[in-house]
Structure 1
Amino acid sequence: MRGRRFSVVICAYTDDRWEDVLAAVESVRRQSLPALETLLVVDHNEPLRERLAARYADAGEEVRVLANAGPRGLSAGRNTGIAAARGDIVAFLDDDAVAERDWLRWFDAAYDDPRVVAVGGRTVPAWAAGRRPTWFPEEFDWVVGCTYRGLPAGRVRVRNVLGGNASFRRGAFDAAGGFATGIGRGGDARPLGCEETELCIRLGKALPDAVLLIDDRAVIHHKVPAARATYRYFRARAYAEGLSKALVARSVGAGKGLETERRYTTRVLPAGVARGLRDFLLARPGGAGRAGAIVTGVVVAAGGYLRGSLRTRREGGGFSYGPVGAPS
């Protein structure tokens, strides 16, 4: 069966991304498989919500603008979109990304298998400078919200999809709940993440026979501003990833929470260091910098994980997963 109804959720929070948000919505409206609706969820920024509502006043049900109904942050914004969605499949697109024309069509094809409950795609960095910094290793493209070296190619089964380019059957949220509001981007400046990892692991526990896929033909292009192509941001994001992974491990257990990361740190990253050193010996630009960045990223992320683990033991507490009730 083809032609499932897609609700696409785009979460926005700042006027600084006005043009990016419009481009993201336009890329959804140009899909070869039309979406049922695009839901723009605005995170506690009423002037931006009013401005977007006015911009899409003539779009009717095709584009709906909503206010985040939960606490400040990306997880609650996504949960607001899920609760309002009317489609069979809920897809998520970052507010500073554009989807290629067949993005939803490739998602849709994967759902022909009734076991499939989530499908992600490939996220390609669009560097503000027009090219990747020579020191920036592809193994760490997750730092800028993109698909990283080490993920398998093609349509493959995975533990978790990446949240800025993902889709889920509506029933997945009925079974497992929504995104945890205690994990991921919130109101502060620290670039936390991993909310989609925690959700996908929880989903696998709720539905043991469920299949989660990544199809690298479902492509989006994610904007990487100059401020995120710096060594300072690289270190900050790696540290925040360690903190986030500690929260995931607390929620779902270290076994599942770090299963993929063990392979990544023991196989993918050493190979990346070796490539960087080889390029250095061959006098290729950035080889030593990439090797050094990988080592730095591992050390900093480990430090964040250790601190996060100590903090979670001391503070305890739980997570909230709603609202993700019946669609309106």
Structure 2
Amino acid sequence: MSDLNISAIICTHNRDTYLGAAIDSLLDQSDCPDYEVIVVDNGSTDTTKAVVEARSPHPRLRYVWEPTLGLSVARNTGANASEAPLLAYLDDDAVATPTWLSCLCRAFEDNDTLAIAGGKVTLIWAEGMSQPPWLSDDMAGCLGRYDLGEEVCLIENPGLTPRGLNYCIRHDFLNQIGGFDPNLGRVGKKLLSNEELYMTEKALHLGWQVAYLPDALVGHNVAPERVNRSWFLQRGWWQGVSECYREQLAGKAGSKQLLRGGERIARGLYKSLKFVRDPAQRFENLVYAYGQIGYLGSAVEGMLFPPKDLPGDRPNTTS
């Protein structure tokens, strides 16, 4: 295993409907001979294990069980199972193009200071479905859409960081920062996020680079149950919670969060009224305002019950 260039890792929890296609897309990679595929089963209770076992004769494929729920926990488990210098994470409901891994490998081989890279993500709509008129392109990013154009570029604004569903990280860098932070990232039905944004902030602060690679293309299946306004409102609320946690981890907690949250609610409501005749922009700003309720609630909770697990105190969670 020490001769591997890259480990492709799928962290999955009860997504057996899409998982097989995700695995098959990784087993069918071209121009990348030295790679493996690791499936981290994060406490699934469906037929996930059977989906993997049906493909287990393939010499590249490995199955790892992780009972503790949490995307960041599962990602760290996948990293610990790998001895490759590069870790490429693909979501369990995504499909990689045949040259995905080779594109990622070339980028890291050409740049020793590259810590994180990710590629373009297009949306795969279920049969008979398309983007509804109330959903803006920016809001489609909540479904995984990610497109910064057709040219390779370095990311200097953490808000433009690559999507976690199409994400590659240098193993040495991940070890340097102690792994993915379990305070961020999805846990079961809790739609926590911002873990990639936080990783980009850490990388840039430490002098590493982060890149967007348009040719490292992945398609992401849109689950039909997500194409409704209530899911986006819930997603926005958890985005606010995640942003609050990220600020706490960065040492930016305190009363100023209450002011920031209040200003953001007012801004979102104002813009939703301003774009009252534009259903997509109106809804986008309403979701933004709603998300700040989650942000403020978490800020108050953090002030009353400060988190014990502060930056610098967390143990190294990767090997």
1:1-328 to 2 correspondence within 5 Å?
5-14=5-14, 17-34=15-32, 36-45=35-44, 48=47, 50-60=49-59, 62-68=60-66, 71-111=68-108, 112-128=110-126, 129-147=128-146, 151=148, 154-158=151-155, 159=158, 160-187=161-188, 189-205=189-205, 208-254=206-252, 288-317=278-307, 318=309, 322-325=316-319
Amino acid at match of 1:90: L
C-alpha distance in 1, partners of 2:209/2:201? 11
C-alpha distance in 1, partners of 2:287/2:111? 38
CA contact (8 A) 1:49 1:66 kept: no
Amino acid at match of 1:118: I
C-alpha deviations, 1:6-63, integer Å up to 9, x for none? 101101111xx32411111111122223361000000123664642453233123x01
C-alpha distance in 2, partners of 1:30/1:176? 32
Q: Specify every segment of 5 or more residues in structure 1 that has no aligned partner in the other structure, as ranges.
A: 259-264, 281-287
CA contact (8 A) 2:20 2:52 kept: no
RMSD (Å), alpha carbons: 3.0
Amino acid at match of 1:18: D
SS in 1 for 2:131: coil
C-alpha distance in 2, partners of 1:20/1:47? 12
Is the alpha carbon distance of 1:47 and 1:242 closer, same or farther for their aligned partners in structure 2, counting shifts above 3 Å?
Answer: closer
Instruction: Report the count of equivalent residues.
Output: 294
C-alpha distance in 2, partners of 1:274/1:124? 30
CA contact (8 A) 2:4 2:36 kept: no
Richer in helix (by share): 1
C-alpha distance in 2, partners of 1:18/1:53? 9
TM-score normalised over the length of structure 1: 0.81
Is the alpha carbon distance of 1:53 and 1:109 closer, same or farther for their aligned partners in structure 2, counting shifts above 3 Å?
Answer: closer
CA contact (8 A) 2:4 2:83 kept: no
CA contact (8 A) 1:202 1:252 kept: no
CA contact (8 A) 2:273 2:282 kept: no
Is the alpha carbon distance of 1:5 and 1:273 closer, same or farther for their aligned partners in structure 2, counting shifts above 3 Å?
Answer: farther
Amino acid at match of 1:213: A
CA apart distance, 1:273: 8.1
Residue of structure 2 equivalent to 1:284:
none
CA apart distance, 1:168: 0.8
CA apart distance, 1:252: 1.7
Amino acid at match of 1:323: T
Stretch moving more, 305-314 or 216-225: 305-314
Amino acid at match of 1:39: I
C-alpha deviations, 1:80-115, integer Å up to 9, x for none? 000011222100000000011221222122211111
**In percent, how many aligned pairs have the same letter?**
22
Is the alpha carbon distance of 1:275 and 1:120 closer, same or farther for their aligned partners in structure 2, counting shifts above 3 Å?
Answer: farther
Amino acid at match of 1:162: R
C-alpha distance in 1, partners of 2:51/2:316? 25
CA apart distance, 1:253: 4.1
C-alpha distance in 2, partners of 1:180/1:65? 23
Amino acid at match of 1:8: A
C-alpha distance in 1, partners of 2:98/2:56? 24
C-alpha distance in 1, partners of 2:4/2:153? 21
SS in 1 for 2:80: helix
CA apart distance, 1:72: 1.0
C-alpha distance in 1, partners of 2:135/2:304? 35
C-alpha distance in 2, partners of 1:125/1:42? 24
CA apart distance, 1:275: 12
C-alpha distance in 1, partners of 2:29/2:295? 40
Is the alpha carbon distance of 1:203 and 1:59 closer, same or farther for their aligned partners in structure 2, counting shifts above 3 Å?
Answer: same
CA contact (8 A) 2:8 2:38 kept: yes
C-alpha distance in 2, partners of 1:94/1:80? 15
